[in-house]
Amino acid sequence: MARSQGEGGPNFVRNAILGPLEDKRTAALDRIETAIGRVAEKPEGLERFAPCGLGRGAGRGEPEGDTESGGQEEPQGEPGAGAASTVDCPDVASRLPSDIPVGARGQVDRELAALAREIGAANDRLARSQGEGGPNFVDNAILGPLGNKRKAVIDRIEIAISREGGAPPTGLDGLAECRLKG
């Protein structure tokens, strides 16, 4: 989005960015349904989470507790300053129960790794997009989509634990939203 500002016609974003993203998300959700279906009842209807849109995410509160930094350096500069800032997200791993069922542990570990990758990707995008976009660019193009991805991952972690007979963790939904640090 940041690199393509001003390119294409009125349907450019839909055709070149959102459409392909939806296709990739649909394929990933299908793989998730299949993976879950191998060990438990296969969930249906996850494809409803595939479409994405442009807009600001709701409820951008301050995260509580420890944060995940994605292994990035401490930031310098002012918030919203592009490369000088990094993404600061609440730590999910520390809020999970210690007695995760053995059958869910592999998926939970993969999902936690996905959270770290998403933070790294968001930090890379912050660095590449310095000076691009308008006043809400970071919220709309980086923090909003990151929060949505984190919410989906947190949901998958909760489902994996529940399906294996573990007590579903509570209070994780508030860990989806991130903010800028620095």
DSSP state of 68: E
d(CA 164, CA 19): 34
Q: What is the pTM assigned to this prediction?
A: 0.55
Listed range (21-35, 54-68, 149-163) with the worst mean pLDDT: 54-68
DSSP 8-state code for residue 136: T
pLDDT digit string (tens) for 67-124?
444 433 333 333 333 345 889 999 999 999 888 999 999 999 999 999 999 998 898 8
Residue 67: strand, helix, or coil: strand
Q: In the predicted model, what is the mean pLDDT of the chain?
A: 77
Question: How many other CB atoms are there within 10 angstroms of residue 173's CB atom?
Answer: 13
Task: Report residue 43 as tokens.
Answer: 């969930």
**Paired strand residues for 87:** 180
Residue with tokens 């949505």: 148
Looking at per-residue pLDDT, the higher value among 53 and 141 belongs to: 141
Which residue in this structure is represented by tokens 């590449």? Answer: 128
The domain limits of the chain are 7-52, 65-182
Amino acid symbol at 91: D
- Where does the pLDDT of residue 151 fall: very low under 50, low under 70, confident under 90, or very high at 90 and above? very high
Query: Taking the CA atoms of the chain, what radius of gyration do you get in angstroms?
Result: 17
The two three-digit tokens of residue 70, written as one number: 């994605």
